[in-house]
Amino acid sequence: MKQVRLIKKAQKGNVPAFETLMLMYQERLYKTAFLYTRNKEDSLDAVQETVIKAFKHLSGLKEPAYFSSWLTRILIHTIFAMKKKQQDVVPFEQHHESVERHDFLEDKLDLKNALDVLDEQYQLVIQLFYFQDYSISMISEQMGVPEGTVKTHLYRARKLLKQTLEKEESVDGTKRNEKAL
């Protein structure tokens, strides 16, 4: 209830109420942004741009109870717009660590690359479900699609991820065997 009152105050132009709301959501916004950008600076830029857009368009929010979804949606659209502008590959810094750490990083990189191959809608569902711990119904509300669509996206995304990772594994296995000869 306190949050709804803050939102209503912020919609009326109360800047301290808006600041309080942003403090409540800053960590969540940053974590979500970082999942997409994998870069501290880009994540901070996306959050900053999201806060500005939210402030400018807060009066357009019809239902204060959906503030969280509305804010997250702005963030995701902002990130996708930034990615379209950049069209850059996120560089991967090489680490000189143990073999175990190297294997872990290699697996993590394989998963990242597999996620990047997915359509944006599948990426979003995977990110929200597995990395943000959103429920199916929360994702449905966030994306503005029926729960059945979210379940279908999850199923298809998992299937595509599995195929992509298996394909990479078979290619890597073939390369490793050729090197051994």
Residues 6+ apart with CB under 8 A from 173: none
pLDDT given for residue 15 in this prediction: 92
- Per the CB < 8 A criterion, the answer to whether 131 and 157 are in contact is no
In the numeric block, the tokens 């597999």 are attached to 114
On whether both 20 and 41 belong to a single domain, the answer is: yes
CATH of the domain at 54: 1.10.1740.10
Residues of the chain with pLDDT > 70: what percent? Answer: 76
Q: In this predicted model, what pLDDT tens digit does every residue of 126-164 receive, in sequence order?
A: 888 887 788 898 888 888 889 999 999 999 988 988 888
Tokens read off for 33: 């942004």
- Using the 3D structure, point to which of 87, 122, 140 is the last residue of a domain: 87
Name residue 123's amino acid: Q
- Using the 3D structure, point to which of 62, 87, 112 is the last residue of a domain: 87
- Per the CB < 8 A criterion, the answer to whether 90 and 124 are in contact is no
Euclidean distance between CA atoms 65 and 70, whole angstroms:
10
On whether both 120 and 54 belong to a single domain, the answer is: no
Is 83 exposed, middle or buried, given 0-12, 13-18 or 19+ CB atoms closer than 10 A?
middle
CATH of the domain at 103: 1.10.10.10
Q: In this predicted model, what pLDDT tens digit does every residue of 156-181 receive, in sequence order?
A: 988 988 888 787 666 655 544 444 43
pLDDT given for residue 109 in this prediction: 57
Element (H, E) at 180: helix 147-180
Tokens read off for 93: 């810094």
Position with higher pLDDT, 67 vs 84: 67
On whether both 70 and 115 belong to a single domain, the answer is: no
Euclidean distance between CA atoms 99 and 96, whole angstroms:
9
Euclidean distance between CA atoms 127 and 34, whole angstroms:
11
- Using the 3D structure, point to which of 63, 87, 111 is the last residue of a domain: 87
Q: In this predicted model, what pLDDT tens digit does every residue of 91-135 receive, in sequence order?
A: 444 434 444 444 444 555 566 667 777 888 888 888 888 877 888
In the numeric block, the tokens 């990615």 are attached to 83
Position with higher pLDDT, 174 vs 34: 34
pLDDT given for residue 108 in this prediction: 52
On whether both 79 and 8 belong to a single domain, the answer is: yes
